[in-house]
Amino acid sequence: MLFNSVEYFVFLFVLLIVYWSSPHRFRNVILTVASLLFYAYWSFGFLLHYVAILALNYPLLRLIIQKKSKPALVAALVLDFGNLIFFKYFYFLIRSLDALIPGQPGLLSQITPDNGDIIPVIILPLAISFYTFQIVAFHVDGIRGEVTEAPGFWKYFLFISYFPQHIAGPIIRHHHLLKQLDEPRDPKAVDVERGLALIGMGLFKKMLIADFFAQAALQITRSPEKYDPAYVVLGSVFFAIQVYSDFSGYSDMARGSSVLLGFELPVNFRGPFFQLSYQEHWQRWHITLSYWLRDYLYIALGGNRAGRLRSHFNLLLTFILGGLWHGAGWGFVIWGVIVGTILVSERILRDAGLISVDATWGRREAEAAREFFVRTLRNTARCLFILTIIVSGGIFFNAGLDLNVARTNFNAIFSPADGTKAYPVTSYHALMFLVFLFLHWIEYLDFKPLLVRREKWKRFERPALALSAVGLLFFLSWKALGNAAFVYFQF
């Protein structure tokens, strides 16, 4: 069930009526049933698989929390990562092994997602990467003593399967939601305006910006040899805008839906572009994944406890594995290598006193954003350099499973063929780019410009809310026949 579909809004509308009309003691049960229905809408068979994974994990979690059982932790990690590796990386491992075998392609080369003659085709379960990370984080927090009491099974089940964040994040951890599940929720205390604003902004990012730029990005990057080098670069820029608008749009809608249900989810994006260091960019991009990689992979590898050289290696390996988490293809691995290498390089330069990473756009203060336009030429060059890295790395990310896509794009940029042409860029592309910049700025400031003088406009809130709701309904109806899945649903 896509967030940008009529079905989802009917589902959410009915759920909100039933949920807030019921006594508090029934609301978690209603949310659990709703989350089951949400997953079953995609596949009832995989819902059974999903429930089985949670049921197998729960007794292990209790042993981990109550007994600090390391064998239980090992069993849980084998179960969860084994499940992830089988469904997500089986074909990738087969292709990689086949490439290492000398001679003619043999039996392994015939095992593909399109060929079910040898083994049944393996279908990737919905949200497997996200719920695996969430479950593993809970286990590790338990062995570290950060969780002192095991939740009941249904509370645990709801925590993992809570539908707004379930498909593509944010990746929530025990301190994000468990306590909120126990607290009384008053419908009068719900910030309806902010919830609808987040949903509206997410819809605009996804349907107005991401889906629009996706058309141009796909057309250019899949046939780059047809276009002039500048337009091939522009296609990669369009892809970066698409991925950001798509994923941050989903995160906004997940947070907005949660606000309407009385919960707060962590912020997942905070204006990641136009920073003066790649570190700052990454700290603002997919924030919950960044923290997960830091707390459960980088630290587990030793972090910075074993010396500077080892810490650089740990950081690089963390992002290589983080790239592989995004997809089972060498394009994602190379993207992870690029991200890790740049972050390690910045750390080395910072330690040597050659760069400073604290002079970023806005420095997280609203008034400092105005200073961006009077930055020095050096800072402007740094900003453009970081954007170049983001776009270049995005070419490998876009290639994903097929490195030939990256190769043809780079060839088209640096060794263009004869007879190339321009891509028909229109004024609508420019308009959507300006809308992207505006929504990016709003996200960076976390709605502060909209809330500073809220009291002055208080009397207009209800009519504006009604008009906005009707406008969103018409907008949704207009786009209903062209719904496109979110990019991160494949992960």
Tell whether 83 is covered by a domain. yes
Tell whether 326 is covered by a domain. no
Domain extent, residue 402, equals 192-276+359-490
Query: Among 139, 281, 312, 326, which one carries the catalytic annotation?
Result: 326
How high is the pLDDT of residue 76? 95
* Region 51-76 average pLDDT: 94
Is residue 63 located within the same domain as residue 97?
Answer: yes
* Domain termination residue (choose one: 119, 150, 183): 183
Report phi then psi at 227, rounded to 5.
Answer: -120, 155
Is residue 110 located within the same domain as residue 16?
Answer: yes
Residue with tokens 């990256």: 406
Q: Smallest Cα–Cα separation from 358: which of 277, 445, 440?
A: 277
Q: Smallest Cα–Cα separation from 274: which of 391, 166, 183?
A: 391
* Region 65-72 average pLDDT: 93
* Domain termination residue (choose one: 164, 183, 202): 183
* Region 420-430 average pLDDT: 88
Is residue 155 located within the same domain as residue 199?
Answer: no
One-letter amino acid at 325 equals: W
Please enumerate in sequence order all residues whose Cβ is within 8 A of that of 30, keeping only pairs 6 or more positions apart, or say none.
15, 18, 19, 22
Tell me whether residue 285 is exposed, middle or buried, using C-beta atoms within 10 angstroms of its C-beta: 0 to 12, 13 to 18, 19 or more: buried
Q: With a cut of 60, say whether residue 450 has pLDDT above it.
A: no
Q: pLDDT tens digits for 212-232?
A: 899 899 999 988 888 999 999
The structural domain count of the chain equals 2
Tell whether 337 is covered by a domain. no
How high is the pLDDT of residue 244? 92
How high is the pLDDT of residue 53? 94
Q: pLDDT tens digits for 256-297?
A: 999 999 999 998 898 888 888 888 888 888 899 999 999 999
Tell whether 137 is covered by a domain. yes
Q: What is d(CA 61, CA 43) in angstroms, rounded to the nearest whole number?
A: 26
Q: For the chain, what percent of residues have pLDDT higher than 70?
A: 82
Q: What is d(CA 137, CA 90) in angstroms, rounded to the nearest whole number?
A: 23
Residue 326 bears catalytic tag: yes
Q: pLDDT tens digits for 44-63?
A: 888 999 999 999 999 999 99
Tell whether 307 is covered by a domain. no
pLDDT band at 208 (very low <50, low <70, confident <90, very high): confident
Tell whether 304 is covered by a domain. no
Q: Report residue 246 as tokens.
A: 């798509």
Q: Smallest Cα–Cα separation from 233: which of 119, 398, 111, 16?
A: 398
Q: pLDDT tens digits for 111-131?
A: 666 665 566 777 888 888 889
One-letter amino acid at 371 equals: E
Tell whether 319 is covered by a domain. no
Is residue 90 located within the same domain as residue 205?
Answer: no
Is residue 448 located within the same domain as residue 371?
Answer: yes
Half-sphere exposure for 441 (CA within 13 Å, toward CB): 14
3-state SS record for the chain: CCCCCHHHHHHHHHHHHHHHHCCHHHHHHHHHHHHHHHHHCCCHHHHHHHHHHHHHHHHHHHHHHHHCCHHHHHHHHHHHHHHHHHHHHHHHHHHHHHHHCCCCCCCHHHCCCCCCCCCCCCCCCCCHHHHHHHHHHHHHHHHCCCCCCCCCHHHHHHHHHCHHHHCCCCCCCHHHHHHHHHCCCCHHHCCHHHHHHHHHHHHHHHHHHHHHHHHHHHHHHHCHHHECHHHHHHHHHHHHHHHHHHHHHHHHHHHHHHHHCCCCCCCCCCCCCCCCCHHHHHHHCCHHHHHHHHHHHHCCCCCCCCCHHHHHHHHHHHHHHHHHHHCCCHHHHHHHHHHHHHHHHHHHHHHCCCCCCCCCCCCCCHHHHHHHHHCCHHHHHHHHHHHHHHHHHHHHHHHCCCHHHHHHHHHHHHCCCCCCECCCCCHHHHHHHHHHHHHHHHHHHCCHHHHCCHHHHHHHHHHHHHHHHHHHHHHHHHHHHHCCCCHHHHC
Is residue 60 located within the same domain as residue 204?
Answer: no
Residue with tokens 């994990």: 57
Is residue 23 located within the same domain as residue 51?
Answer: yes
Half-sphere exposure for 2 (CA within 13 Å, toward CB): 23
Q: What is d(CA 107, CA 320) in angstroms, rounded to the nearest whole number?
A: 29
- For 345-355, give one letter per residue: b (16+ CB within 10 A) or e: ebbeeeeeeeb
Is residue 440 located within the same domain as residue 418?
Answer: yes
Is residue 214 located within the same domain as residue 102?
Answer: no
Q: What is d(CA 421, CA 235) in angstroms, rounded to the nearest whole number?
A: 13
Q: What is d(CA 328, CA 361) in angstroms, rounded to the nearest whole number?
A: 34
Per the CB < 8 A criterion, the answer to whether 157 and 70 are in contact is: no
Is residue 232 located within the same domain as residue 160?
Answer: no
Distance of CA 413 to the CA centre of its chain: 29
Please enumerate in sequence order all residues whose Cβ is within 8 A of that of 166, keeping only pairs 6 or more positions apart, or say none.
35, 38, 39, 127, 130, 131
Tell whether 411 is covered by a domain. yes
* Domain termination residue (choose one: 147, 164, 183): 183
Is residue 156 located within the same domain as residue 72?
Answer: yes
How high is the pLDDT of residue 440? 85
Q: What is d(CA 232, CA 243) in angstroms, rounded to the nearest whole number?
A: 17
Q: What is the pLDDT of the chain when averaged over all its residues?
A: 82
CA distances from 438 to 209, 306, 351 (A): 12, 44, 35
Is residue 219 located within the same domain as residue 127?
Answer: no
pLDDT band at 82 (very low <50, low <70, confident <90, very high): very high
